[in-house]
């Protein structure tokens, strides 16, 4: 089926070829822009967003390969979605086709081409690209609010904390439980949708907002570094939420809706996301316990003074709240290297003290043919591990293609069953046909003498 309205950019140094392709595509209802060189395309793409690029391979100065590489680098740098590219060429060399596809081309068509086939391939490339974008978006967004989901939002904010200046804030809706209890969960969902709109209205393109729990949200605001800005933002969001909640629930609405905010400045208070989150979360808890509808910004310990004996019960509650895992997942924990090492050492102490066993496993992925999909395959394998393993298991992605696991309480025979389940689940994925999995195990067992036994497979 031909689709009118697609915007196609044709890049070719031959005027006749440009004219012919332009006439063909316009006769099929497509918008066409013609350029004579790769450099012109790179300038053009900065202010334009075509649906597809037809790129000639043989051009003076900057050939199609160099142009495609520069285009992909620019898209990556500016965080733009990749524009599908079909390479047009009279070259019959199969190596050129392989090189073009490996560089990121969607298709490869040789001149002279059949007009109907060219149009059909353009339609297929654009439609497939849009399906991929839709699936990618669905996988990264929270279905109810449309904000980023916890996993993807947290990953992005973690990277921002390492490189950017700004404020990490946690928002928690006050009295949200009362909405569910009095008006029902459908109304509660509407309030969350409305609040997500408020968050979007108060964030900019470079900010990152994510839903991290039922009524809890996290936002990284780039370049916000003053208490005045945090105060103004908190006041504005509280006013907007109360107004919209009142409109939703009518004139009899009496629930004191609002938000409590815990904030921390980056890099002033650090760059490590885990610590920054704990600081902000601690501030949030203080606000919730002292009136709500406000904010607190983290202050280093030296400025907070000494805790009084009468505050010990409250301090225990606060510390427990910070330390406990929110929304405890049903799967194993995938940790960064520092967190994994800390947990690994602690678990090893427990095993030694209580004379228990554990098994270490190192999985390694290997492509049958190098097709550049190892990153996607590794991401899929990580999901398999998280879903198959127990909540008590921990793992770390050692390299792009390697995962290191510690399985507490499992002896050899039990670990073999777990590994078999992992491999069975892997066989159900699309990458199992192109990527093989190898592994090695080591049993850890401390006898009464304190000696450690090891066995490898």
Q: Which helix (H) or strand (E) holds 32?
A: strand 31-35
Could you read off the pLDDT of 78-133 as tens digits, one per residue? 878 889 999 888 776 777 777 877 878 888 888 877 888 889 889 888 888 887 76
pLDDT of residue 291: 75
Q: Give the span between the Cα atoms of 36 and 18, in whole angstroms.
A: 8
Mean pLDDT of the chain: 85
Q: What is the pTM of this model?
A: 0.48
Q: What is the mean pLDDT of residues 394-418?
A: 89
Taking residues 151-177, what's their average pLDDT? 93
pLDDT over 70 at 254, yes or no: yes
Confirm whether 7-140 and 333-453 share one CATH topology. no
Residue 189's pLDDT is 93
Reported as a pLDDT band with limits 50, 70 and 90, residue 379 is confident
Tell me what pLDDT residue 321 has: 63
One CATH from 3.30.1490.20, 3.30.390.50, 3.30.70.270, 3.40.50.2300 for 150-323 = 3.30.70.270
* Confidence at 408, pLDDT banded by 50, 70, 90: very high
Instruction: For the beta carbon of residue 16, count every other beta carbon within 10 angstroms.
Output: 8
Q: Provide mean pLDDT across the span 332-358.
A: 86
Query: What is the structure's pLDDT at 256?
Result: 85
CATH fold of 333-453 reads Alpha-Beta Plaits (3.30.70)
| Alpha helices, H only, 79-226 | 94-102, 115-140, 150-163, 176-183, 185-201
pLDDT of residue 318: 63
Query: Mean pLDDT lowest for which of 276-280, 336-340, 382-386?
Result: 336-340
Q: Give the model's confidence band at 137: pLDDT under 50 very low, under 70 low, under 90 confident, else very high.
A: low
Terminal CA-to-CA distance of the chain, rounded, Å? Answer: 55
Question: Which H or E run includes 414?
Answer: helix 412-427
| Domain covering 7-140 assigned CATH 3.40.50.2300 in the classification | yes
Task: Judge whether residue 239 has pLDDT over 90.
Answer: yes
Q: Please name the residues in contact with 31: beta carbons below 8 A apart, sequence gap of 6 or more.
A: 5, 6, 7, 8
Mean pLDDT, residues 213-218? 92
- Per-residue pLDDT at 43 exceeds 60: yes
| Residue located via tokens 């997500």 | 196
Bigger pLDDT: 361 vs 143: 361
% of the chain exceeding 90 in pLDDT? 44
Note the Cα 364 to chain centre separation in Å. 23
What pLDDT shows up at residue 302? 45
Q: List the domain boundaries for the chain.
A: 7-140, 150-323, 333-453
Where does the pLDDT of residue 138 fall: very low under 50, low under 70, confident under 90, or very high at 90 and above? low
In the prediction, which pLDDT does 448 show?
47
């Amino acid at each position: 089926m031909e689709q009118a309205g697609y915007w196609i950019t044709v890049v070719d140094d031959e005027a006749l070829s440009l004219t012919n392709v332009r006439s063909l595509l316009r006769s099929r209802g497509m918008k066409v822009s013609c350029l004579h060189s790769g450099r012109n395309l790179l300038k053009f793409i900065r202010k334009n967003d075509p649906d597809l690029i037809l790129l000639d391979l043989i051009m003076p100065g900057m050939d199609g390969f160099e142009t495609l590489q520069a285009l992909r680098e620019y898209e990556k740098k500016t965080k733009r979605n990749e524009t599908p590219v079909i390479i047009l060429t009279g070259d019959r060399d199969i190596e050129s086709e392989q090189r073009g596809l490996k560089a990121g081309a969607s298709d490869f068509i040789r001149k002279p081409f059949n007009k109907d086939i060219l149009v059909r391939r353009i339609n297929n490339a654009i439609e497939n690209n849009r399906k991929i974008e839709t699936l990618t978006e669905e996988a990264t967004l929270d279905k109810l609010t449309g904000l980023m989901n916890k996993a993807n939002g947290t990953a992005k904010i973690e990277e921002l904390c390492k490189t950017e200046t700004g404020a990490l804030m946690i928002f928690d809706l006050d009295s949200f439980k009362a909405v569910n209890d009095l008006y029902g969960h459908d109304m509660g969902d509407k309030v969350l949708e409305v609040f997500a709109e408020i968050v979007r209205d108060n964030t900019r393109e470079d900010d990152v907002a994510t839903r991290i729990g039922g009524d809890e949200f996290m936002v990284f605001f780039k370049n916000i570094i003053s208490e005045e800005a945090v105060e103004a933002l908190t006041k504005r969001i509280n006013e907007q939420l109360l107004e919209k909640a009142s409109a939703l629930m009518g004139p009899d609405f009496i629930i004191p809706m609002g938000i409590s905010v815990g904030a921390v400045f980056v890099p002033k208070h650090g760059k490590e996301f885990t610590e920054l989150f704990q600081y902000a979360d601690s501030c949030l808890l203080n606000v919730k316990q002292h009136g709500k509808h406000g904010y607190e910004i983290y202050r280093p310990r030296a400025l907070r003074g000494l805790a009084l004996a009468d505050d010990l019960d409250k301090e225990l509650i606060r510390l427990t709240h910070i330390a406990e895992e929110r929304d405890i997942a049903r799967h194993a924990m995938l940790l960064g290297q520092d967190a994994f090492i800390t947990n690994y050492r602690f678990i090893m102490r427990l095993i030694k003290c209580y004379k228990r066993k554990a098994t270490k496993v190192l999985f390694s992925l290997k492509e049958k043919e190098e097709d550049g999909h190892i990153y996607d395959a590794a991401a899929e394998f990580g999901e398999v591990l998280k879903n198959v393993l127990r909540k008590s298991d921990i793992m770390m992605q050692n390299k792009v293609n390697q995962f290191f696991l510690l399985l507490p309480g499992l002896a050899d025979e039990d670990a073999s069953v777990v590994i078999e389940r992992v491999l069975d689940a892997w066989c159900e994925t699309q990458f199992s046909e192109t990527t093989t999995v190898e592994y090695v195990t080591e049993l850890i067992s401390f006898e009464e003498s304190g000696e450690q036994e090891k066995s490898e497979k």
